[in-house]
Amino acid sequence: MSAAIPLRVIVAHCAYQMRGGEDSVVEAERELLRSRGHEVLLYQRRNDDIQGLNKLVAASQALWSGRTYRQIIDLALRFKADIIHAHNTFPLISPSLYGAAWRCRIPVVQTLHNFRLLCPQGVFLRAGALCEDCLGHIPWRGVVHRCYRASAAQTSVAVGMLAAHRWLGTYQRKVTRYIALNEFARGKFIEGGFPADRISIKPNFVDIPPPAAQCRRGGLFVGRLSPEKGVSVMMEALRRHPQISLDVMGAGPLHSTVVQHPQLRVSGWCEPREVYERMRGASYLLLPSVCYENFPRTLVEAFACGLPVIASRSGPMMELIEEGHSGLLFESGSASDLADKIAWAEAHPEAMRRMGDNARHAYEAKFTPEENYRQLTEIYRGAMEESRQEQVRWAMQG
């Protein structure tokens, strides 16, 4: 099959209550496929809808959604889908999507945007520190520690889903191909028991033209204002250099605390156009997360805008950022080390500009729509071929 042959793709995604990078990735990939002549049907449910369900119904939906199962079968047959590409399925879509695809003999590609299938919280974080206690095990410890939304009941739902479908072999047999966003994430899923031969790597992408030459000044933070994003570490680092201020574009549970910091200029959630405009004028972007950032969309946006990144020396960041070339790394959770890196960046604007140029080159080599399309269609081809071979085996056995 040639990548030039138009495909009929169902994209399945459960949208988050607060729009984030994952929602943007889903939208960008849909438009990428459509722009190349493929037919794309979006099957979307929204996490907002769970508020209208009683707790027992919501819990059962996360384990198995009869509604999703029936709707996917109906859509797949009417649309004559070649492939189903799943993104977030928790909680309302549920693993019933895989069962529906299995019944229709349609291959499923699942993007692993976070670590939800290994950790109830999805980011390997507990009490503000990295935690891998559940990696490779049924994550019952997460219930004890109330890892998901600080609730034993809600964590039990997530753990019950994972335990049931691991036992049933859903993740091993009914997903044709997984997409990890980087080598680090792929390694974690293999360590967690996922089949290595079914996990491909494809990063996120953005479509941003090269930045025009202009004066760059100051630092920038873009993202959710929440504990796992290292907001407290960033604020403490700035207190060590009272003369340095920072622009913040984002919203979240720590907003009321962040706006009181005298060195932070908070503009709240902004449209991408506004974010890119500020990225083109900043000297560096901060990514101080204390959790494993799988592949933050803000990083590739920054690279595309010629903006170097100062990030935690943790997880995929060590793979994505070449220290001293496209950005700087600091010890995760260390306000003093982050303060030193910020001070160095402020004192060496020309070096940061060169790193920004290198970041743009990295974007052009790895994270453009063209390169992403090539990788995505290659993964689709592999999944469809594997599905065909499996159907031949079924026919021979039947």
> Which tens digit of pLDDT belongs to each residue from 253-283?
999 999 999 999 999 999 999 999 999 999 9
Domain ranges of the chain: 8-111+169-205+368-397, 219-366
Q: Which amino acid is at 73?
A: I
Ramachandran angles phi, psi of 287, nearest 5°: -130, 80
Q: Which amino acid is at 4?
A: A
CATH number of 8-111+169-205+368-397: 3.40.50.2000
Strand order in the sheet with 309-312: 264-266, 246-249, 219-222, 284-287, 309-312, 327-330
Between CA 302 and CA 281 the distance in angstroms is 11
Q: Which amino acid is at 206?
A: V
Ramachandran angles phi, psi of 339, nearest 5°: -60, -40
Quote the CATH superfamily of domain 219-366: Glycogen Phosphorylase B; (3.40.50.2000)
Are the C-beta atoms of 296 and 223 separated by less than 8 Å? yes
pLDDT at position 2 is 44
pLDDT at position 181 is 97
Element (H, E) at 368: none
Between CA 257 and CA 86 the distance in angstroms is 36
Token pair listed for 322? 């070449």
Fold equal for 8-111+169-205+368-397 and 219-366: yes
Q: What is the pLDDT along the chain (398 residues), one digit of tens a residue?
A: 444 689 999 999 999 877 878 999 999 999 999 999 999 999 999 877 676 666 777 778 888 999 999 999 999 999 999 999 999 999 899 999 999 999 999 999 999 999 999 999 899 999 888 999 999 888 888 899 999 888 888 889 889 999 999 999 999 999 999 999 999 999 999 999 999 999 999 999 999 999 998 899 999 999 999 999 999 999 999 999 999 999 999 999 999 999 999 999 999 999 999 999 999 999 999 999 999 988 999 999 999 999 999 999 998 999 999 999 999 999 999 999 999 999 999 999 999 999 999 999 999 999 999 999 999 999 999 999 999 888 777 777 76
Are the C-beta atoms of 94 and 61 separated by less than 8 Å? yes
In the chain, the N- to C-terminal Cα span, in Å, equals 26
355 CB burial (10 A radius; 0-12, 13-18, 19+): buried
pLDDT at position 128 is 86
> pLDDT digit string (tens) for 163-176?
999 999 999 999 99
Strand partners, 329: 311
Between CA 370 and CA 177 the distance in angstroms is 21
pLDDT at position 52 is 61
Ramachandran angles phi, psi of 95, nearest 5°: -70, 0
DSSP class per residue in 84-138: EEE---TTTT-THHHHHHHHHT--EEEE--SSTTT-SSSSSEETTEE--TTTTS-
pLDDT at position 54 is 64
142 CB burial (10 A radius; 0-12, 13-18, 19+): buried
